[in-house]
Structure 1
Amino acid sequence: MVADPPALRRADWERAAAPRRPEQAAERLAALAAAAEPGARLGTKEELRVYCGVSVGTFNEALRLVQARGVIDVRPGRTGGLFANRQSPLVRLGNSVLALDEDAASVADAVRLRDALDPLLVEDALRHADPTDVTAMRRELDRMRAAAADLDGIAFIHANWALHARIADVTPNAMLRSFYLSLLEIIESHTLAVQPLGDQPLPEYIQSRYDLHAALVDAIATRDEHRALALIREHNMTAPAALDPTG
């Protein structure tokens, strides 16, 4: 039997990794809530399960995702059901800590390994990145900046992870690239949402993380090895917790 070749570049990886059905159902529920007025009744759990076209177990997992994101309320009783609960910008801005599923220990291991591999990938990017690679990195930076301006913590962390994947794309080391992208997939697939960090001044924190990543891409573009490696060390040392939501 011939094994399928591994997805070694991000484009191949993204094509191969189809969205999980709970996430697909959660996106349908979130879109439904976004189109409704806050407080509007969307339907019963069974009605919306049928609307999403998934099993009870899959729907319950999807419902947990949208509840963690704060976009849907579930109310019991005869007049209960699912209700739109659109987040205010302030609430969305307060989202900064990863909320993980039951496999959080595996995610912690994946984050630790990812941080350990970051310097190797930056070294390879310094040697091998061409203008096209740098342009792709800057596109992800643009997404990070736009998400920060919109106070969208979820979009910010996903754009941040995408930037790290773009940096990983540059390495000619197929084993390193594949392993690193697999770690990112583990982190993303087990992240349910983001939760309030508390009294942390999030706007300043997000700006500082954006600035650090922008400086890192600039250092890669100019092949400033000393600056780039110093920045990636700072990146991994200044995270407020083991599961830094902004990568």
Structure 2
Amino acid sequence: MDFDLPVVADPSVDADLALLLEHRPSNISGMFDSIADHYDRLDRLLSAGLDEHWRSHLVRDLGLTGSEAVLDLCSGTGEVALSLRRCGAAAVTAVDFAPEMLKIAESKARNAGIDGIRFICADALHIPLGSASVDVATMAFGLRNVEDPLAAIAEISRVLRPGGRLSILELSRPPSVVRRIYLGYFEHVLPWVGRLLSHHRDAYRYLPASVEAFPPPAQVAAMISAAGFEHIHVTPVSGGVAHCYSARKPKPEA
């Protein structure tokens, strides 16, 4: 099965935006660094204010017991990492390839008096952790930004212990009427507001374009399966504007 992201062939997509949609790590990390100071507000806009609810759902459904070592991949400004510690994770490793985003995450942790989070600047395809070293892995709004989503999921599998859990939250193309409303918001409202918040015009065009170019939920679930996970569940939220993907790494047979 081919898991490559769609090639952008629309002639209306200019060269700068097309380059970002190739998902080269240096281009994408640079883009996120350029909007780091505005990213949390952008997330509110991109999700129509629902992102905090979705993240809370992601963390709450993990049912952390207080003993888990958790990897938060594509951690960005640290919203999920901080929530994981607040909800009982024993230790959190927050990994992102955009250093300016991680600086904001570290500042948030200091200001909130939250310890137990290790921040590492690294690519999702090369996680600097040992094999079978974490119990849980999370990724919120990051999978569509990596160069090779299947390879990233396989790398997560490497660092998870047998029986470890994976939980991914990602925006998606909603169906029918919801799709038309949301895409209208994406195409007409978000870029206009984005220009008011940042001088990096391409970033605010890339983010909705990356959602439109991302594979549908069934294909994402197939990637998770291809990476060796089992017990895969796909849950649409807010009418399919986003989806939660949960899975487990198999334990060896006795």
TM-score by length of 2: 0.25
Greater helix share, structure number: 1
TM-score by length of 1: 0.26
Greater strand share, structure number: 2
